């Protein structure tokens, strides 16, 4: 069996090459067992592989996401990659692609100059207690604040807020020790050229560090909206493979993520 395949680099850092978050996108013409979906994701060895299957209605697709370790319930960059590929290959007839997912209906609208706007659910957070094992795994600098995040993929998520961008840039966590806590971490701080910066470490979901994490911004955006008193912000993820996006307040309980995506390769998956 052969399936169309593309690798898309979502949320690149402007026009800089080899930035943003790579995602695999597979168009299914028939259902496959979950073991095959996971196997392809493991073979791709990207943080996410997205699987699309056309539905009966115009511009609507079923969408699932797999890391090399498991299926996840929400993924921003692989949704952006899927939408960009569909628009660029002429598979979207109208201005909006609609995806039916484990997180409900997600809408992606084409904007100007190759940019796209994604309508995503906010992911809630509340003040939490610092976990000594998590903080130790993250390094010597203690965060200013710790927040517990609503569970996204069945794992524990915490957001650690640091005083300065340089601290987030310099983080070099002990991934093995962090994995032992079964906790994924969003690290964030005020930005120098952007409103805020972040990094995402997800060993509990099979991804040591995700380059530019759309779903993390479903928590980051409302936190920084409240802290900065704004409803539109510029964000950068500042790890070894950086990237950028805009975040905007959406309807109640929603957040809008805006970014671009670069088509890196096209091919065929054979199973």
Instruction: Please tell me whether residues 8 and 102 are part of one structural domain.
Output: yes
pLDDT of 250 above 70:
yes
Of 7, 48, 165, 209, the catalytic one is 48
The number of helix segments (H) and strand segments (E) in the chain equals 6, 17
pLDDT of 172 above 70:
yes
* Residue 231 phi, psi dihedral angles, 5° rounding: -120, 5
Mean pLDDT of 67-82: 95
Mean pLDDT of 27-44: 97
pLDDT of 99 above 70:
yes
Instruction: Please tell me whether residues 171 and 133 are part of one structural domain.
Output: yes
pLDDT of 169 above 80:
yes
CATH value at residue 228 = 3.10.310.10
The reply to whether 169 falls in a domain is yes
Instruction: Please tell me whether residues 156 and 201 are part of one structural domain.
Output: yes
Average pLDDT, the chain: 96
The reply to whether 252 falls in a domain is no
The residue assigned the tokens 């659910």 is 121
Q: What stretch of H or E contains 44?
A: helix 34-44
Instruction: Please tell me whether residues 6 and 115 are part of one structural domain.
Output: yes
Q: Is 48 a catalytic residue?
A: yes
Residues 6+ apart with CB under 8 A from 253: 121, 122
Domain span holding position 40: 2-122+257-270
Counted domains in the chain = 2
Q: Exposed (0-12), middle (13-18) or buried (19+): which is 132, by Cβ within 10 Å? A: exposed
The reply to whether 197 falls in a domain is yes
Instruction: Please tell me whether residues 110 and 6 are part of one structural domain.
Output: yes
pTM here is: 0.95
Instruction: Please tell me whether residues 178 and 74 are part of one structural domain.
Output: no
């Amino acid at each position: 069996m052969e399936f169309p395949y593309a690798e898309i680099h979502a949320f690149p850092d402007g026009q800089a090459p080899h930035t943003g978050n790579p995602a695999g996108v597979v168009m299914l013409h028939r259902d496959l067992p979950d073991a095959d979906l996971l196997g392809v994701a493991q073979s791709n060895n990207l943080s996410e592989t997205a699987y699309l299957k056309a539905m009966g209605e115009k511009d609507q697709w079923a969408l699932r996401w797999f890391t090399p370790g498991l299926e996840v319930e929400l993924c921003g960059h692989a949704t952006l990659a899927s939408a960009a590929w569909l628009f660029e290959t002429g598979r979207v007839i109208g201005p909006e692609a609609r995806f039916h997912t484990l997180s409900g209906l997600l809408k992606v609208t084409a904007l100007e100059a190759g940019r796209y706007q994604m309508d995503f659910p906010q992911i809630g957070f509340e003040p939490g207690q610092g976990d000594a094992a998590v903080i130790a795994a993250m390094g010597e600098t203690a965060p200013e604040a710790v927040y517990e995040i609503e569970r996204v993929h069945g794992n524990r998520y915490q957001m650690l807020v640091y005083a300065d961008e340089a601290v987030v840039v310099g983080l070099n966590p002990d991934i093995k020790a962090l994995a032992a806590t079964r906790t994924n971490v969003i690290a964030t701080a005020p930005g120098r050229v952007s409103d805020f910066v972040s990094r995402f470490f997800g060993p509990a979901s099979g991804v040591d560090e995700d380059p530019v994490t759309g779903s993390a911004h479903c928590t980051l955006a409302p936190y920084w909206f409240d802290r900065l008193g704004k409803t539109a912000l510029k964000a950068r993820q500042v790890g070894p493979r950086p990237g950028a996006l805009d975040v905007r307040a959406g309807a109640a309980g929603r957040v809008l993520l805006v970014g671009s995506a670069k088509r890196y390769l096209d091919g065929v998956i054979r199973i």
